[in-house]
Structures are given as C-alpha cells and as structure tokens.
C-alpha cells in the first residue's frame, strides 16, 4: 500500500471468491452459491473473476453444520501445515485444500476478496463481519453497501479480539468479508433472508468493479460494533445449563444492555441481571449453533472507525 495526497493506493481486487456452505445447514449461502455455480452471470463484473464455491460439501449433503469439526475455526497455522492426509478430520483436510486453491493464507498469491455467506438463528438482520479495523478496503466497501441499501440496515461487527477471534475460512483472502443474515432456522430457507443476502452481495461486487475501474473513495466514518466479551449460560456444578435468555433480551440483538437489565431467567423463574461496568450491545443472542461453544451471546461496544480515502495503485 502506498500513499500520496492522503489517498491509500491499493492493488485491484481481481480475484474474488464467494463461499457458501462453510456450515452445511445455513441455507441462503448454500442455495445462492449452487445457483451461481450453474449460472454465474449475476455475480460477474468487468475485470473481476468471481468464483462461487461450496466449502464443506459433505456437511451440505448431510445438512449439518459440520462433519468432524467446525470448518470456520479450522484455518489455524497448525491445521494448515498438519501432516496426516486422510487421517486428519474431514474439515482440516478441507481447510488445507481450500488454502491451496484460494491462498496460501497470508501470501501475495492469495485471493483478493472472499465473501463467506452465513445464516444465524439470532435476530441480527444483515451483518457484515470485519476482521481488521486497519482494512480500509473492506471499511470502504462496507460503507458503500450501507449507503446503497439504506434505509434498510446493515451493521458491521468487528472481531479482532485476541482471545475471541477465530481462524475463519475467509481468512485465507487478503480482504476477508463475513456476511451473516438472520433470523433463519438451521436447514430452512426464508425468502426475505435469501433476498437480503443476494442484494448485499450485488452491492459488494458493484463496489469492487467501481474500485477496479479507478473510482476514488473519499475518507469516511463507519460505525462498527467491536466484539468485547463472550457470555455463557449460567450452569450448575456439572456444567448443565440452568437458565435461559431472558424474554426482555431475546431477539434484541444490537439493542443496548445496561447494568441491572434482565439477562437470564432460571428455570424456576428467577431473573439474573447484567452486572457489567457499562452499556454493551449484545448480538448472536441465543444462537443455536453456539450452545456447543458455551456461548449465550457476545457483547459488543459501539465505536466509529475512520476509513482512509482509497484509490487503485
């Protein structure tokens, strides 16, 4: 990245992948990618090679999140370099294959952008997931998408927490973009969620085309929700869940949770209140896939990032 006249000069984004089926029961991405693998006209843009790709075909076939282990946590340096071939868990083998085709992760040969399409059972609406606050290309893209779909809402979740960040399938790319749309039950296709995902991807690809053609994007501010803490369900001494998300919190993703607000309700009707030090914005509330990860929701803090002006080098 070079900079003159305060504009960051970035290389063109020529190679773009669209991943569906990283989790095999999140049906919007699976269905869209399968559609585009048959006919990719909708996702092609001038000067961009857009490749739709099913990341976890065995999980898609079984309509389950994963077969052996969560593919969206599998892209660690240890896994990507692990010997063992067929002896390795299926998703680790798959991570190595994906890294060969779309990476190698962290190298100049890696794909420019990977969009990873996900659904959530939580009431999150449309959420773009950003992995680095320093990725000005992605910040500019997200600003473009937010403006393009207004007055509809699309929020930005920033996860660069050193302990809570995980090794995603999209992290192979130079510019990884997660797209999380809900609420939608696992294994189910809802038309409104499907269309919302499709529209966001359309605007994202439009942005890439405009950038590659030489459009300059001035500096802008982007509101993000920074991942702060993972909150588990209350449990007994044996690790069994003893309370549920409180009705006042259920489906209230992105709404302020203040100290003293109801957070959980025990099975015998008692309320457990939030004891944090200040207002947070919870999300992934009561996500079905996160029971196994011992997570009831994550807390976030709202902040504004400034994206540099960008143009192509």
In contact, 72 and 169? CB cutoff 8 Å: yes
Q: Is position 246 annotated in a ligand binding site?
A: no
Q: Is position 73 annotated in a ligand binding site?
A: yes
Tokens of 300: 């976030």
Q: Is position 72 annotated in a ligand binding site?
A: yes
Distance of CA 85 to the CA centre of its chain: 28
Q: Is position 166 annotated in a ligand binding site?
A: yes
Candidates 12, 61, 97, 180; catalytic one: 180
Q: Is position 65 annotated in a ligand binding site?
A: yes
Q: Is position 161 annotated in a ligand binding site?
A: no
Q: Is position 168 annotated in a ligand binding site?
A: yes
Distance of CA 217 to the CA centre of its chain: 24
Residue whose token pair is 């996500």 = 287
SS3 285: coil
196-220 in b/e form (b: 16+ CB < 10 A) is: bbbbbbbbbbebbeebbeeeebeeb
Q: Is position 301 annotated in a ligand binding site?
A: no
Residue whose token pair is 């011992």 = 294
Q: Is position 109 annotated in a ligand binding site?
A: no
Q: Is position 55 annotated in a ligand binding site?
A: no
Q: Is position 229 annotated in a ligand binding site?
A: no
Tokens of 187: 């294994």
**Element of type H or E holding 204:** helix 191-212
Q: Catalytic site residue 180?
A: yes
Backbone angles phi, psi at 199, to 5 degrees: -65, -45
Q: How many CA atoms lie within 13 A of 151 on its CB side?
A: 0
In angstroms, the Cα distances linking 36 to 19, 52, 292 are 11, 6, 32
Q: Is position 190 annotated in a ligand binding site?
A: no
Q: Is position 167 annotated in a ligand binding site?
A: yes
In angstroms, the Cα distances linking 185 to 2, 22, 193, 201, 239 are 45, 16, 11, 21, 26
Known binding-site residue numbers for substrate: 72-73, 166-170
Residues involved in catalysis: 180
Known binding-site residue numbers: 23, 26, 65, 72-73, 118, 166-170, 180, 290
Known binding-site residue numbers for N-acetyl-L-aspartate: 65, 180, 290
């Amino acid at each position: 990245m070079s900079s003159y006249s305060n504009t960051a000069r970035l290389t063109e984004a020529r190679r773009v992948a669209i991943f569906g089926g990283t989790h095999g029961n999140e049906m919007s991405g699976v269905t869209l990618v399968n559609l585009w693998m048959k006919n990719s006209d909708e996702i092609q843009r001038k000067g961009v090679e857009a490749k739709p790709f099913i990341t976890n075909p065995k999980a898609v076939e079984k309509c389950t999140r994963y077969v052996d282990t969560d593919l969206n946590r599998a892209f660690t340096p240890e896994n990507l370099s692990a010997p063992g071939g067929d002896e390795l868990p299926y998703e680790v083998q798959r991570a190595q294959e994906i890294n060969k085709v779309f990476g190698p992760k962290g190298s100049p040969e890696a794909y420019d952008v990977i969009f990873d399409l996900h659904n959530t059972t939580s009431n999150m609406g449309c959420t773009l997931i950003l992995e680095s606050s320093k990725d000005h290309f992605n910040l500019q893209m997200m600003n473009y998408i937010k403006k393009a779909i207004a007055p509809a809402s699309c929020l930005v979740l920033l996860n660069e927490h050193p302990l809570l960040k995980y090794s995603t399938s999209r992290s192979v790319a130079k510019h990884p973009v997660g797209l999380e749309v809900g609420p939608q039950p696992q294994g189910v296709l809802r038309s409104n969620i499907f269309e919302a995902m499709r529209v966001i991807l359309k605007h994202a690809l439009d942005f890439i085309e405009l950038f590659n053609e030489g459009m300059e994007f001035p500096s802008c501010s982007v509101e993000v929700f920074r991942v702060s803490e993972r909150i588990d369900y209350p449990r007994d001494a044996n690790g069994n869940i003893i309370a549920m998300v409180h009705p006042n919190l259920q489906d209230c993703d992105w709404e302020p949770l203040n100290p003293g607000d109801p957070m959980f309700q025990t099975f015998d009707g008692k309320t457990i209140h939030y004891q944090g030090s200040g207002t947070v914005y919870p999300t992934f509330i009561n996500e079905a896939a996160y029971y196994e990860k011992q997570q009831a929701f994550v807390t976030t803090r709202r902040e504004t990032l400034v994206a540099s002006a960008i143009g192509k080098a």
